Amino acid sequence: MMASSPQSSLGGPPAGRLDLACPARESAAAMTAQQPTAPAETTATPPRMRKVVTAGLLGTSLETYDLYLYGTASATIFPRLFFTNQSDTVATILSLATFGVSFMARPLGAIIFGHFGDRIGRKETLITTLLLMGVSTAVIGALPTYDSIGALAPVVLVLLRLLQGVGFGGEYSGAVLMLSEHAPAGRRGFYAGLNNIGPVFGFILSTLVFLVTGSLMSDATFTAWGWRIPFLLSAVLVAVGLYVRNQLSESSLFIEAVKKRESATPPLLQVVRRHPKELILGTGSTVALFAIFYLFSTYTLSYATKVLQMDRSTVLWSVILAMVVNGVAIPLAASLSDRVGRRAVCVAGLAAAALWAFPMFSLINTGNSSLLTLALSVQMVFYGVIYAPIAALLSEIFTTSVRFTGAALSYNLGGILGAAFAPIIASALLARYGNTDPIALYIIAMCVISAVCVAALRETRLTNLAEPR
């Protein structure tokens, strides 16, 4: 038997007959055939995808190890080492201010590394950012303190912190782009979100190293020289990260974008001219993300140990457990964003984080370690729900030729507005009002700003990254 034609099976004319009654059908088909089709996205093979995921996670873990290690030290020990000529309150504020300095340098890093990432490639740029962060962190581990070289010590500390900020300005967004541009379109949120587990690993590793080092020696010994060990260890970790990242290759999307590049205009100017709305809203969508995390990771350490007089080790363990919970929430929320959309998941997380602000501080203020762990863990679940879809969202709102610059600039400008001043603002609010209610209101305000910005962005989960915009 002869198989029927597709037309016949769909109710069209039988095979072998001309459809003289519908001449328009042939005309419509011809017109359709002549219309240009949207470029198809290409995805990596499973082995290559596993390599990209491994490199992204490892690189981001090591970069954030450097970042969070400094955050822990600035909240707990650096006030005694680099600001010994100040009162305890002023020393703490100044130490936290050096933590914020990094965020001021990040947009510069986003511009520099975004330019080269969009022009010469994601891979080489990511290798450079990793090296810059790692060397800066290792040098901090060898830096003389105030007692040795006086006021020069905090000055050099700030300069090294600025270099860390420049390096990190291109790190996160570049790693996310590698995952987004290699991933299957229907799973882009999940794979891009996986990169956000890297900071979880980095935070836990830095906190554990800090915690274990401190537990193996007396407080006096740790203050004298033991604190340097976690910083010097960065040099070894970066060597591993450089080896893994060197095995990567560029995505097909980026290679095609380079071939088709028509404009010699720098990516930064293209972003400002062609994507001003995306840049502004992308920046606003991340401010709560940064405020929540750095109040959690930096200010809470200072508040619990210095104000509530809780044991430093106890507080660090609570923070570690909360980060483990966060690591579980991220891939679940990232996968959900592939099904219901980036905006819906992000706004839900922001609403939950805002509602939890007052209950969280009520639990923290008890000074009970179990309630502290509960308060931080619940907040980090909500934080993970916000953080997970942001990775793909910022990648999808910009076209390939300027994606690195646009995403990096949005992310790092959000870092300045949301994180650079958050620990300082929280310290000032507590000093002014004597309670944590204003800090809770501050978190709520940040969540409202981000929710409005996310809602104003277009939904991007079905975006074809190969299409120009």
Q: Tell which wins on pLDDT, 294 or 259.
A: 294
* 19 within domain boundaries: no
The answer on pLDDT for 469 being more than 90 is no
Q: What is the pLDDT of residues 38-85, one digit of tens each?
A: 455 556 677 778 888 888 788 788 878 888 888 888 878 899 899 888
Distances (CA, A) of 56 to 83, 212, 305, 419: 36, 27, 34, 23
* 269 within domain boundaries: yes
- Which residue in this structure is represented by tokens 């010699």? 264
* 28 within domain boundaries: no
Q: What is the pLDDT of residues 1-22, one digit of tens each?
A: 444 433 333 334 343 343 434 4
Within 8 A by CB and 6+ apart from 72, the residues are: 206, 207, 210, 297, 298, 301, 316
The answer on pLDDT for 26 being more than 80 is no
First to last CA, the chain: 50
> Using CA atoms, how far apart are residues 261 and 255, in angstroms rounded to an integer?
10
Phi and psi (nearest 5°) for 14? Answer: -60, 155
* 9 within domain boundaries: no
> Using CA atoms, how far apart are residues 56 and 45, in angstroms rounded to an integer?
16
* 469 within domain boundaries: no
Q: Does an H or E element contain 469, and which?
A: none
| Residues 280, 423, 392: CA angle, nearest 5 degrees | 35
Q: What is the pTM of this model?
A: 0.78
The pLDDT value recorded for residue 394 is 92
The pLDDT value recorded for residue 434 is 92
* 138 within domain boundaries: yes
| Domain encompassing residue 435 | 46-456
Q: What is the pLDDT of residues 160-194, one digit of tens each?
A: 999 988 988 888 888 888 888 888 878 899 999 98
Within 8 A by CB and 6+ apart from 212, the residues are: none
CB atoms within 10 A of CB 459: 13
* 198 within domain boundaries: yes
Of the listed ranges 83-97, 211-225, 284-298, 372-386, the least confidently predicted one is 83-97
Total residue length of the chain: 469
The answer on pLDDT for 264 being more than 60 is yes
The pLDDT value recorded for residue 89 is 79
Arithmetic mean of pLDDT, 332-349: 96
Question: Which amino acid makes up residue 342?
Answer: R
Overall domain count for the chain: 1
* 2 within domain boundaries: no
The answer on pLDDT for 268 being more than 70 is yes
The answer on pLDDT for 245 being more than 60 is yes
Q: What is the pLDDT of residues 400-438, one digit of tens each?
A: 888 889 999 999 899 889 987 888 899 899 999 999 999
Question: Residue 435 is encoded by which pair of tokens?
Answer: 């309670």
Arithmetic mean of pLDDT, 318-332: 94
CATH number, domain with residue 332: 1.20.1250.20
